[in-house]
């Protein structure tokens, strides 16, 4: 019987993992440059954590089961609830708190381009401050990560505010706000007639639906936000302070990146715990799923404690990032170490092993051929490395090495001390 991998899951071979690790390291390094510190948590959590706060749609996508203790548990479908659980378990943490994580997450969805049932997900969160500066910093970090990967000018970030949308919906006499958010989240995924029908099913009038559609129909420059809302709302004054905060948020974000930042009323994010700003990044060609997404979620901490802790964060899945980088010829290893393949024509491996360890102590790659093959076969294996080092009886006697550059075939014999001084 042939056993293959399960549908929706991926294998990663060494040549792929080298590039993947390089990409991931640049992402985590950027977060650390912003002062964010890494955390980690179990891959298995209680299902109730997602039942209570993430919504039924997410729970239906979980890899969940009842364990031997009779508890409903799940492989984590996202990182935010686990992060907040860690946060509320400690009372001694000085705020604001800046954390990031990079776990694998699992969702039982239909696999398609840019979506798998298991993927790596970078997450970053800022706790303890509810302000435009905090919102802008998190969006700024997200954009800086994309810029660091070489994607500047290739993506755009679309921003909305859930509290603004809630105000708009109430102003337009929409009573079932949660369902309305769910419908708006489908706006760019369904046709216009289906969109109208879903709103009519929750007793929203045609005039109000027309106004909602007018807001959702296009992304706008932040300078035009107030004008568009005044044209739509019955009472703009009640939301003026919130709009001023959003304007200031956009002003600060522009210090972080030169990429396009739009206001987009159709961005509401599917998860039910968002309470303020929400945002997503897309490739400007519009060919792929969202590159990243996030927002403010000030109420989630009450799931674990009596304290409401302001929070804002985002997540980046590796699948869409990989597609986008490959399409732009950026799926590259930018952190390759110099590598040495040590060939031996002698049965005395002491000297080759010493050389390899000394090279590794210089934070470079070295391995010794221990196959006892002919030298020609060993050198052929060395073609995958930057340099071949050949050790024979003469090199051992003279405390020297013969080194060959595998890129241009230049070869020379030098004293070992001279070689080490050159590293």
The CATH number that applies at residue 388 is: 3.40.50.800
CATH number of residue 227's parent domain: 3.30.930.10
**Claim to verify: residue 319 and residue 406 sit in the same structural domain:** no
**Claim to verify: residue 85 and residue 188 sit in the same structural domain:** yes
Backbone angle region of 290, left / alpha / beta, with phi > 0 → left and psi within -120 to 50 → alpha:
beta
pLDDT of residue 55: 60
**Claim to verify: residue 413 and residue 299 sit in the same structural domain:** no
Full residue range of the structural domain in which residue 373 is found:
339-422
Q: Which of helix, strand or coil describes residue 29?
A: helix
**Claim to verify: residue 291 and residue 343 sit in the same structural domain:** no
Taking residues 3-11, what's their average pLDDT?
Answer: 93
Number of domains present in the structure of the chain: 2
Taking residues 207-223, what's their average pLDDT?
Answer: 94
Instruction: Say if 374 falls within a structural domain.
Output: yes
Lowest mean pLDDT segment, chosen from 149-163, 309-323, 334-348, 387-401: 334-348
- What's the CA gap between 116 and 387, in Å, rounded? 38
Q: Where among 305, 327, 349 does a domain terminate?
A: 327
First to last CA, the chain: 51
Q: Where among 270, 298, 327 does a domain terminate?
A: 327
**Claim to verify: residue 231 and residue 372 sit in the same structural domain:** no
Q: Where among 327, 352, 375 does a domain terminate?
A: 327
Instruction: Say if 1 falls within a structural domain.
Output: no
- Decide if pLDDT at 156 tops 80: yes
DSSP state of 202: T
Taking residues 82-90, what's their average pLDDT?
Answer: 94
**Claim to verify: residue 37 and residue 78 sit in the same structural domain:** yes
**Claim to verify: residue 124 and residue 201 sit in the same structural domain:** yes
**Claim to verify: residue 310 and residue 402 sit in the same structural domain:** no
Question: In the structure, what pLDDT confidence band is assigned to residue 271 with cuts at 50, 70 and 90?
Answer: low
**Claim to verify: residue 172 and residue 321 sit in the same structural domain:** yes
pLDDT of residue 58: 78
pLDDT tens string 309-367:
999 999 999 999 999 999 999 998 876 789 999 999 988 889 999 999 999 999 999 99
Q: Are 267 and 160 in contact (CB under 8 A)?
A: yes
Instruction: Dig out the tokens for 344 from the structure.
Output: 């031996």
pLDDT tens string 229-248:
999 999 999 999 999 999 99
- Decide if pLDDT at 410 tops 70: yes
**Claim to verify: residue 290 and residue 349 sit in the same structural domain:** no
Using N-to-C axis directions, what is the helix angle for 177-185 and 192-200, rounded to 10°? Answer: 170
Instruction: Say if 8 falls within a structural domain.
Output: no
Question: In the structure, what pLDDT confidence band is assigned to residue 59 with cuts at 50, 70 and 90?
Answer: confident
**Claim to verify: residue 320 and residue 368 sit in the same structural domain:** no
Cis upstream peptide for 154 (omega within 30°): no
**Claim to verify: residue 382 and residue 322 sit in the same structural domain:** no
Taking residues 202-218, what's their average pLDDT?
Answer: 93
């Amino acid at each position: 019987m042939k056993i293959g991998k399960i549908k929706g899951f991926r294998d990663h071979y060494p040549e792929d993992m080298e590039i993947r690790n390089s990409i991931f390291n640049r992402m985590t390094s950027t977060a650390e440059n912003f002062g964010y510190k890494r955390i980690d948590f179990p891959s298995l959590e209680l299902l109730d954590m997602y039942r209570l706060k993430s919504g039924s749609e997410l729970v239906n996508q979980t890899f969940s089961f009842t364990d031997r203790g009779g508890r409903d548990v799940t492989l984590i479908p996202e990182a935010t609830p686990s992060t907040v659980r860690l946060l509320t378990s400690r009372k001694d943490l000085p705020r604001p708190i800046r954390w990031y994580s990079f776990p694998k997450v699992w969702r039982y969805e239909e696999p398609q381009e840019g979506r798998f049932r298991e993927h790596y997900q970078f997450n970053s969160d800022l706790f303890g401050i509810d302000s435009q500066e905090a919102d802008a910093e998190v969006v700024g970090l997200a954009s800086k990560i994309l810029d660091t990967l070489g994607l500047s000018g290739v993506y755009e970030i679309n921003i909305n505010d859930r509290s603004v949308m809630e105000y708009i919906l109430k102003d337009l006499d929409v009573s079932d706000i949660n369902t309305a958010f769910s419908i708006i989240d489908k706006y760019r995924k369904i046709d216009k007639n289906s969109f109208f029908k879903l709103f009519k099913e929750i007793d929203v009038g045609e005039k109000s639906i027309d106004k909602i559609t007018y807001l959702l129909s296009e992304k706008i420059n932040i300078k035009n936000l107030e004008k568009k809302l005044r044209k739509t709302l019955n009472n703009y004054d009640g939301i003026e302070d919130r709009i001023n905060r959003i304007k200031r948020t956009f002003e600060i974000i522009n210090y972080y990146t030169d990429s396009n930042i739009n206001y987009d009323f159709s961005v509401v994010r599917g998860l039910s715990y968002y309470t303020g700003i929400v945002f997503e990044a897309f490739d400007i060609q519009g060919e792929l799923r969202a590159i990243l997404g996030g927002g403010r979620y000030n109420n989630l901490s009450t799931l674990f404690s009596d304290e409401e802790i302001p929070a804002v964060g985002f997540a980046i899945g590796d699948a869409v990032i990989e597609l986008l980088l490959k399409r732009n010829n950026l799926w590259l290893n930018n952190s390759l170490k110099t590598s040495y393949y040590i060939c031996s024509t002698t049965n005395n491996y002491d000297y080759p092993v010493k050389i390899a360890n000394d090279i590794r102590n210089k934070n470079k790659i070295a391995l010794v051929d221990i196959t006892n093959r002919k030298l020609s076969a060993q050198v052929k294996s060395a073609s995958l490395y930057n340099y071949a080092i050949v050790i024979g009886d003469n090199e051992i006697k003279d405390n020297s090495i013969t080194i060959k550059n595998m890129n241009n075939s230049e070869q020379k014999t030098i004293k070992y001390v001279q070689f080490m001084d050159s590293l």
